[in-house]
């Protein structure tokens, strides 16, 4: 079978789609699986050997037309559109796929049948198989809203053979450093750390307490880190991408500044502990053997987000940003 999966959003969403890709491939090794992806999640796709072809899309009309032409030429047996928004829908509608499936996630912030009513009305005319998920109702009824589980249900309903409950493994060739055989404690410097519940001063206090109990601390950054953690950047040593390659020991608290994807995943894979707010780091860490702690935003439906984006088949510690004992629980996690 020739199969296309449309996933044109963020890196974490692509990582949660990997159990679906793997389940389709495990069911029949002859299946050809192509991906339409974004620039954000392309870095994931091009490291997964079971993906045959990768088509990178952006919101430019010229690029969308090029991808539509390619999808029509491929003439897929099955197409699965898992990303929200009209780009994913338009690509799917104009493809020549024989059987088209769509996952529609209604707003987690609004309830009622009016959510995405235009999408639902139009798509019923073009898709063979549509799964509409009212996330608010699902949560009240204690039904699973885990993204991987929902995508799995879409594939199963389409009739394509699929092996369920696959744990992602051996899909990535992560690098690894032994750092002189030390246990590494990685904290990801997402802007989500700093809010009305937790200040940069409290963050500094946490870092120093972890250091005092013997943790070898490194901090990975993203594009916003240097604007949010100004005191952190003034206090600790910064290791850039090039210097990371020769880093073989951790003798002081380090900021690993703007590592490329290979180096970033290497340090995650080399860490014994990882603490991060819910973001792409969560899902990369879920593919490793680390002890993982994820902090959810108290002001953004933390229980729903946790259930929707929980790492697939990975045991982890869940904390909420407004927890008055957050610092103490993070210390406890590290022991």
Query: Which pLDDT does position 259 carry in this prediction?
Result: 94
Percent of the chain surpassing pLDDT 70 = 97
User: Within a 13 Å sphere around the CA of 266, how many CA atoms are in the beta-carbon half?
Assistant: 17
pLDDT (0 to 100) of residue 109:
83
Q: Give the model confidence (pLDDT) of 149-197 as tens digits.
A: 999 999 999 999 999 866 666 677 789 999 999 999 999 999 999 999 9
Question: At residue 233, does pLDDT exceed 70?
Answer: yes
Greater confidence (231 vs 112) lies with 231
What's the number of CA atoms in the CB half-sphere (13 Å) around residue 272?
A: 13
Span 240-263, pLDDT tens digits = 999 998 999 999 999 999 899 999
94 to 80, 89, 126, 268, 313: CA distances (angstroms): 13, 9, 9, 40, 35
Which pLDDT score is estimated for 213? 94
pLDDT at 112: 65
pLDDT for 116: 85
Q: Which residue has the higher pLDDT, 327 or 141?
A: 327
- Per-residue confidence (pLDDT) for residue 107, from 0 to 100: 85
Residue 193 or residue 312, greater confidence: 193
Q: What is the mean pLDDT of residues 187-214?
A: 96
Orientation angle between helical segments 326-333 and 200-212, nearest 10 degrees: 30
pTM of the model: 0.90
Q: What is the mean pLDDT of residues 84-107?
A: 94
Give dist(CA 15, CA 265) in Å, integer: 13
Tokens of 333: 């996690």
User: Higher model confidence: residue 140 or residue 3?
Assistant: 3
- State how beta strands 2-7 and 32-38 pair: parallel
Averaged over 99-103, what is the pLDDT?
A: 97
- Residue 182 per-residue DSSP state: P
The predicted-structure confidence for 269-289, as pLDDT tens digits, reads as follows 999 999 999 999 999 999 899
Residue, of 40 and 299, whose pLDDT is higher: 299
Comparing CA positions, the residue from 298, 316, 296 lying closest to residue 306 is 296
How confident is the prediction for the chain on average, in pLDDT? Answer: 92
């Amino acid at each position: 079978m020739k199969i296309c999966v449309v996933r044109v959003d963020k890196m974490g969403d692509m990582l949660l789609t990997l159990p679906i890709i793997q389940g389709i491939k495990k069911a029949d090794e002859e299946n050809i699986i192509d991906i339409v992806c974004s620039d954000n999640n392309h870095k994931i796709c091009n490291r997964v050997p079971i993906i045959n072809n990768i088509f990178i899309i952006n919101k430019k009309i010229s690029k969308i037309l090029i991808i539509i032409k390619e999808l029509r030429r491929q003439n897929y047996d099955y197409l699965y559109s898992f990303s929200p928004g009209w780009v994913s829908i338009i690509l799917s509608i104009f493809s020549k796929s024989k059987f088209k499936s769509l996952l529609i996630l209604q707003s987690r912030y609004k309830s009622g049948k009016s959510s995405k009513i235009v999408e639902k009305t139009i798509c019923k005319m073009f898709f063979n198989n549509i799964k509409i998920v009212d996330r608010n109702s699902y949560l009240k009824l204690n039904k699973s809203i885990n993204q991987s589980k929902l995508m799995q249900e879409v594939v199963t309903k389409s009739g394509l053979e699929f092996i369920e409950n696959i744990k992602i493994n051996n899909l990535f060739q992560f690098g690894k450093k032994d750092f002189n055989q030390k246990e590494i404690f990685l904290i990801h410097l997402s802007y989500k750390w700093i809010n009305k519940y937790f200040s940069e001063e409290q963050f500094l206090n946490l870092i120093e307490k972890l250091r005092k109990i013997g943790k070898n601390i490194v901090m990975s950054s993203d594009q916003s880190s240097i604007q949010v953690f100004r005191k952190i950047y003034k206090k600790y040593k910064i290791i850039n991408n090039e210097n990371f390659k020769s880093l073989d020991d951790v003798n002081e608290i380090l900021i690993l500044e703007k590592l490329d994807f290979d180096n970033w995943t290497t340090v995650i894979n080399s860490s014994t502990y990882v603490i991060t707010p819910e973001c792409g780091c969560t899902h990369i860490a879920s593919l490793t053997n680390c002890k993982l702690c994820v902090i959810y935003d108290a002001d953004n439906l933390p229980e729903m987000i946790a259930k929707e984006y929980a790492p697939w088949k990975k045991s982890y510690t869940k904390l909420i940003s407004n927890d008055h004992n957050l610092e103490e629980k993070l210390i406890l996690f590290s022991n």
